[in-house]
């Protein structure tokens, strides 16, 4: 399929280019001492991702350890409550550790093992990436340092406990707003010190090249499975595909299965409390081009051009930018990016729980809320939503803040 002069039949061969660019977005804006480390990772990945040993080991792990393929569920009662549109969810909440993130963590940790590294380093927001990476590190016998904002440590106590039980070292980050953005900075600094023995496992399709590409490739299993399963279930493609976008990894994984199809694709960003800067984290909707955390993308900036403070009820979505490939697909118009606020999110959280017996992560609830809105607009057809994770981690926080609805 050709869209806006881009041939999507050959899209994955051409994007990113050899320097990690998706159009003008992406690249690797890093200190000189890390250039070599990134090149080493890039070369290792290029060799390994083609080796049948690596591919078959990853396949075996996905099946025997992660429990893949995860199913697609038809949401009969929720669909019925909205009219004539059929809603479906891809159940990444049933992936081991309860979210999509283990898909790229097992890939990154397997790469670390092939490269002879002893340690994995990462930041985490909701704690999901930390848990997923701690799980992968335990599986492969690697050391694991997880940087986490003090605010998120409080908000996500069960995930902190999980990481510690899995043997990871949780490093508390207290400066600034003490959330995901500061944790990213701290983890990056640690990597600069330790890159000879360690590998930095980025938690989304962000950071310097080759991470946005590697994480997309590891997550593409979601879209590939979903397309096949949906065709088998219904005999056709969905009319629309929806996923929430923080950094953008679950969305990129899902979207990559459908970019070359006549399917409308929607990325959902968190509008939080409203449109004022600082009240949301809708970077693609309200941001401008800029460089942060080693890559060029669309980002939310403060008056000094630095990454702006952001907010979302979902700690996994409160990041002031999104992956470069999303910025590219945004400008191209191939994916439409829209927003959902906290209230709509909480409403969807309870609707999916009550009507379907699935408690979604607050992050994923943004996608569910958008799917529900879209269903009313479309009037007929089908929508496939990526349910990126389960909501057990969010239950205490939601009951405390919103009560039972």
Ligand X SMILES: *Cc1c(COP(=O)(O)O)cnc(C)c1O
Q: Which residues are designated catalytic?
A: 101, 123, 388
248 part of the interface to ligand X, by CB under 6 A: yes
| Upstream peptide bond of 19 is cis (omega within 30 degrees of 0) | no
Class of residue 355 by CB neighbours under 10 A (exposed 0-12, middle 13-18, buried 19+): middle
Residue of 20, 130, 208, 246 that binds ligand X (CB under 6 A): 246
Nearer to ligand X, 240 or 244 (CB): 244
Closest separation between CB of residue 267 and ligand X, Å? 9
Question: Is 241 in a helix, a strand, or coil?
Answer: strand
Q: Which is nearer to ligand X, 185 or 363 (CB)?
A: 363
Per CB under 6 A, the list member of 99, 213, 221, 358 interacting with ligand X is 99
Q: Where are the alpha helices (DSSP H) in 156-200?
A: 157-165, 180-194
Nearer to ligand X, 195 or 201 (CB): 201
- Give the C-alpha separation, 208 to 378, whole Å: 38
Q: Which stretch binds ligand X (CB under 6 A): 34-42, 245-253, 254-262, 280-288?
A: 245-253
Write out 38-79 in H/E/C secondary structure: HHHHHHHHHHHCCCHHHHHHHHHHHHHHHCCCCCEEECHHHH
Minimum distance of ligand X from residue 364's CB (angstroms): 5
- Nearest-10 crossing angle of helices 211-234, 249-256: 50
Rounded Cα distance between 48 and 328, Å, is 27
Q: Is the dihedral of CA 95, 99, 100, 105 positive or negative?
A: negative
Residue 296 vs 388, nearer CB to ligand X = 388
Residue least distant from ligand X (Cβ): 389
Residue 317 touches ligand X, criterion: CB under 6 A: yes
Closest separation between CB of residue 329 and ligand X, Å?
14
Distance CA 125, CA 314 (A): 9
Applying CB under 6 A, among 73, 135, 159, 249 the residue interacting with ligand X is 249
In the complex, least distance from residue 323 CB atom to ligand X, rounded to whole angstroms: 8
Tokens of 86: 């059929």
Min CB(83)–ligand X separation in Å: 27
Under the binding rule (CB under 6 A), the answer on residue 220 touching ligand X is no
Within 386-405, the residues that bind ligand X by CB under 6 A are 388-389
Q: What residues line the site for ligand X (CB under 6 A)?
A: 99, 101, 126, 128, 204, 244-251, 316-317, 361, 363-364, 388-389
């Amino acid at each position: 399929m050709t869209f806006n002069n881009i041939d999507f039949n050959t899209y994955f061969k051409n994007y990113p280019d050899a320097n990690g660019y998706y159009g003008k977005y992406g690249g690797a804006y890093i200190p000189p001492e890390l250039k070599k480390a990134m090149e080493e990772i890039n070369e290792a990945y290029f060799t390994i991702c083609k080796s049948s040993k690596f591919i078959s080991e990853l396949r075996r792990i996905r099946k025997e350890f992660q429990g893949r393929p995860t199913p697609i569920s038809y949401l009969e009662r929720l669909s019925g409550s909205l009219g004539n549109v059929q809603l479906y969810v891809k159940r990444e909440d049933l992936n081991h550790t309860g979210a999509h993130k283990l898909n790229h963590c097992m890939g990154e940790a397997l790469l670390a093992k092939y490269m002879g590294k002893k340690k994995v380093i990462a930041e985490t927001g909701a704690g999901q990436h930390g848990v997923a990476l701690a799980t992968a590190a335990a599986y492969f016998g690697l050391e694991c340092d997880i940087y986490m904002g003090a605010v998120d440590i409080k908000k996500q106590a069960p995930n902190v406990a999980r990481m510690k039980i899995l043997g990871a070292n949780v490093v508390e980050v207290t400066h600034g707003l003490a959330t995901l953005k500061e944790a990213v900075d701290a983890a990056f600094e640690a990597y600069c010190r330790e890159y000879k023995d360690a590998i930095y496992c980025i938690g989304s399709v962000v950071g310097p090249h080759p991470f946005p590409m590697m994480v997309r490739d590891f997550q593409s299993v979601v879209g590939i499975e979903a397309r096949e399963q949906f065709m088998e279930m219904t005999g056709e493609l969905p009319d629309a595909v929806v996923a929430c976008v923080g950094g953008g990894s679950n969305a990129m994984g899902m979207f990559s299965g459908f970019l070359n199809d006549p399917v409308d694709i929607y990325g959902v960003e968190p509008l939080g409390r409203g449109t004022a800067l600082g009240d949301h984290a809708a970077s693609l909707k309200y941001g401008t081009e800029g460089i942060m955390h080693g890559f060029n993308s669309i980002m939310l900036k403060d008056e000094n051009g630095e990454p702006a403070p952001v907010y979302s009820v979902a700690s996994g979505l409160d990041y002031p930018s999104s992956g470069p490939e999303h910025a590219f697909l945004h400008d191209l118009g191939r994916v439409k990016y829209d927003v959902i606020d906290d209230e709509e999110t909480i409403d969807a959280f309870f609707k999916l729980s009550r009507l379907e017996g699935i408690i979604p992560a607050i992050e994923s609830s943004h996608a569910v809320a958008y799917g529900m809105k879209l269903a009313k607009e479309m009037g007929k057809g089908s929508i496939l939503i990526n349910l990126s994770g389960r909501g057990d981690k969010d239950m205490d926080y939601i009951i405390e803040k919103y009560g039972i609805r």
